Amino acid sequence: MDPASLLLLLLLMFASTINAQFPVTHCGSTGNFAANSTYQTTLTTLLSSISTTNSLSLSYGFFNASAAISGASQTLYVFGLCRGDLTAVSCRTCLNVLASDIRRLCPLQKEAFLYTDNCVIRYSDTSFLGVVATEPSYVVRTSYEVSSPDTYDAVLRKLLNALWAEAAGGGSLRKYASGNESAGPDMIYALVQCTPDLTKQQCSDCLMIGVQTIRDCCAKYTGGRFMVPSCLILYETNYQFFDPVSQPLPPPPSPPPGMLGLVQS
């Protein structure tokens, strides 16, 4: 089966909350590099820079690095995204774990993509910044149905629509929103996020697919996940699985002199 078109729907029996097997691993199908090649050494160097990169970008929840592969007219891109409620320290820890997982699980693949609940890592020799990617997708739900599906579905839709708009409007550093809303006896907790390189419209497009997918697969169940390279949606019932106070956004570095004229008011 073509991994790019694989839609994975795991039904987590006997689980009231999502507790999937992580990391979810997608080793690319675009070919392999040779062991000990410059491709491999460049990849190793880029991934190890997660440990040394300054914490400013990690406090926005992303890691972004690229380098030319010596001897080849190729550039390698590495991108990491952490959930918007993680601190820079937790983000670095999460990405470091995935960086070592990705080398172990996809040892020679030219591109790969791994998710956990808290962070995502991806590398490729094709730039994926500014491109909406909705494959491969990872969709899971709990096996427990909610008691009043119609009320629940309406409230979940309202909550996701509000978070969707807030995340898409989040600016170029972080596109993240979380919140909760009560549905009868239940409290729904949800978070949505896009990679920050997307435009508002691109983020909105990705989340539109996510909200529709969640409504089709999961909205009668107590928890669900929609995770694709460009965006994610997570929700749970009566379980506040995120830090409701999201990390404050530190000010971006001041633009170099001469660039100020380009800033739009």
Ligand X SMILES: *[C@@H]1O[C@H](CO)[C@@H](O)[C@H](O)[C@H]1NC(C)=O
SS3 of the chain: helix, strand, coil, percent, to 5? 30, 30, 40
Cβ proximity to ligand X: between 8 and 187 the closer is: 187
In the complex, the smallest distance separating the C-beta of residue 259 from ligand X, rounded to whole angstroms, is: 14
What is the three-class DSSP state of 49? coil
Cβ proximity to ligand X: between 24 and 188 the closer is: 188
Q: Which residues of 92-116 are buried (b: 16+ CB within 10 A; e: fewer)?
A: bbbbbbbbebbeeebeebbbbbbbb
In the complex, the smallest distance separating the C-beta of residue 206 from ligand X, rounded to whole angstroms, is: 15
Cβ proximity to ligand X: between 41 and 212 the closer is: 41
In the complex, the smallest distance separating the C-beta of residue 182 from ligand X, rounded to whole angstroms, is: 5
In the complex, the smallest distance separating the C-beta of residue 34 from ligand X, rounded to whole angstroms, is: 7
Burial class (CB in 10 A: 0-12, 13-18, 19+), 37: middle
In the complex, the smallest distance separating the C-beta of residue 264 from ligand X, rounded to whole angstroms, is: 17
In the complex, the smallest distance separating the C-beta of residue 14 from ligand X, rounded to whole angstroms, is: 26
Which residue, among 131, 33, 135, has the nearest Cα to 76 in the 3D structure? Answer: 33
Which residue, among 5, 7, 11, 8, has the nearest Cα to 220 in the 3D structure? Answer: 11
32 DSSP 8-state letter = B
What does the block give as tokens for 117? 């609940």
Pairing of strands 137-142, 223-227: antiparallel
Which residue, among 211, 235, 233, 213, has the nearest Cα to 223 in the 3D structure? Answer: 235
What is the three-class DSSP state of 51? coil
Q: Which residues bind ligand X (CB under 6 A)?
A: 35-36, 64, 66, 129, 180-182, 187, 196-197, 240
In the complex, the smallest distance separating the C-beta of residue 189 from ligand X, rounded to whole angstroms, is: 8
Cβ proximity to ligand X: between 17 and 66 the closer is: 66
Cβ proximity to ligand X: between 101 and 243 the closer is: 243
What is the three-class DSSP state of 203? helix
Pairing of strands 7-12, 137-142: parallel
Phi, psi of 98, deg, nearest 5: -65, -35
Cβ proximity to ligand X: between 9 and 129 the closer is: 129
Cβ proximity to ligand X: between 36 and 265 the closer is: 36
Rounded CA gap, 18 and 224, in Å?
Answer: 7
